[in-house]
Amino acid sequence: MIEYNVKQGDTLRKIAVRFQVTTVQLCYRNNMSPEACLEPGTTLFVPDAVPTDQPRGETHSGCLHEYGWRELEEDRQSLPSSIFSEQIGISVLGKPIWLFRAGNGPKKIFFSGAWHGNEWLNTWLLMSFLHVFISKEESKERWYGVDPGAILQEVTLYAVPLVNPDGVELVQEGAHVLGKEKKNDVMQINGGMHDFRHWSANARGVDLNHQWPAGWKEEAAGSPDRPFPRHYGGEAPLTEPEAKAVYQLSMQEEFSHILALHSQGEEVYWGYSGLEPPESAELGNRLAAAGSFRPVADAGSSAGYKDWFIKTFRRPGFTIETGMGVNPLPPEASARIWITGVPLLLESLTFPDFTKKSRDITSAE
Ligand SMILES: [Zn+2]
């Protein structure tokens, strides 16, 4: 048995994976609950490892422990040279918001994930997807029948896999990461609870997918009217730095279509108030068929990023709800998210170019 000093960024699962023990063994040996917050500086007793054939760390077909901004940074530094990264903004608590880009084609496609704190499995999905996609391109292999090399002649793929790094950190590590004053603020927003596993918002209690100028007022009228763990749209549209960063990127690049990843329900939402182009229904059905998801025309809500994109550009925008199970989804859900998510993401890369088409429609109005 060894004694381990808990560091910033540690979670029970991360420590368990590192020492090849189970979280149950860790909790039992330290007489603690699996939901307990790990304060940095605490000493944990780590039992001797039991022999296991489980692989260590993340693999591309499974996520063994929480994936947040630290893991993203590690992945960012080991990217192949054909994936470019660029900081497009900074979160409320000062974390970088990273954009990744691959390919040189004229058709610009945008993936985004972890808009909500408890949806970090989509960050892992998008980063793993990028890694494998590029490695298949380099080895000239097909992936589910798709030729990554041919796609990247046609497409430039943009991805912001972690829109809400502060929210994800809160969910994974609890409020002690914030320092005393800010900790009290978010604890108050969280109803005094230490448990942040259901937290969706950013560090100011604003829901980054309720922040968009597309029916914002109507949506705000039926939502919390002050900072809250979810669904509070802010004092006005686009007040939060994380949403602003995606807004500026979207205005600059004028994507042909976008996929905004959320969890959960295994659904594809393809419409917004009838403002989407007529092709959106068929394309939504294609995405749904690829992932074995359910296609849905309209969520009946407003002020989301996908809603704003459709309204502004009149091009296809999709909200993808990955995963199925208890909320929030645990790392064990990653295998299913991968198996269903990869064919869906690949399918979206084969869509026609809407850039010119919808410009024509807009100018005719
Ligand atoms: Zn979400």
**Does 78 map to a domain?**
yes
Long-range contacts of 216-220 (CB under 8 A, 24+ apart): 216/302, 216/303, 218/302, 218/303, 219/301, 219/302, 219/303, 220/303
Active-site residue, selected from the candidate residues 39, 321, 332, 365: 321
Half-sphere exposure of 10 (CA within 13 A, CB side): 21
Cα angle: 193, vertex 229, 196; to 5 degrees: 45
How many Å lie between the centroid of ligand 1 and the Cα of residue 213?
18
**Does 141 map to a domain?**
yes
How many Å lie between the centroid of ligand 1 and the Cα of residue 84?
26
On the question of pLDDT at 14 being above 80, the answer is yes
On the question of pLDDT at 21 being above 60, the answer is yes
**Does 32 map to a domain?**
yes
Please check whether residues 244 and 100 belong to one and the same domain. yes
Residue 282 bears catalytic tag: no
How many Å lie between the centroid of ligand 1 and the Cα of residue 135?
29
Q: What is the mean pLDDT of the chain?
A: 92
Please check whether residues 34 and 99 belong to one and the same domain. no
Please check whether residues 24 and 119 belong to one and the same domain. no
How many Å lie between the centroid of ligand 1 and the Cα of residue 356?
30
Indicate which CATH number applies to the domain containing 345: 3.40.630.10
Cβ atoms within 10 A of the Cβ of 178, count? 19
**Does 53 map to a domain?**
no
pLDDT of residue 39: 86
For 148-165, what is each residue's pLDDT tens digit?
Answer: 999 999 999 999 999 999
Indicate which CATH number applies to the domain containing 7: 3.10.350.10
Count of structural domains within the chain? 2
**Does 352 map to a domain?**
yes
For 46-68, what is each residue's pLDDT tens digit?
Answer: 888 755 444 434 455 688 899 99
Please check whether residues 21 and 122 belong to one and the same domain. no
Please check whether residues 146 and 110 belong to one and the same domain. yes
On the question of pLDDT at 31 being above 90, the answer is no
**Does 304 map to a domain?**
yes
On the question of pLDDT at 29 being above 90, the answer is no
Distance of CA 63 to the CA centre of its chain: 14
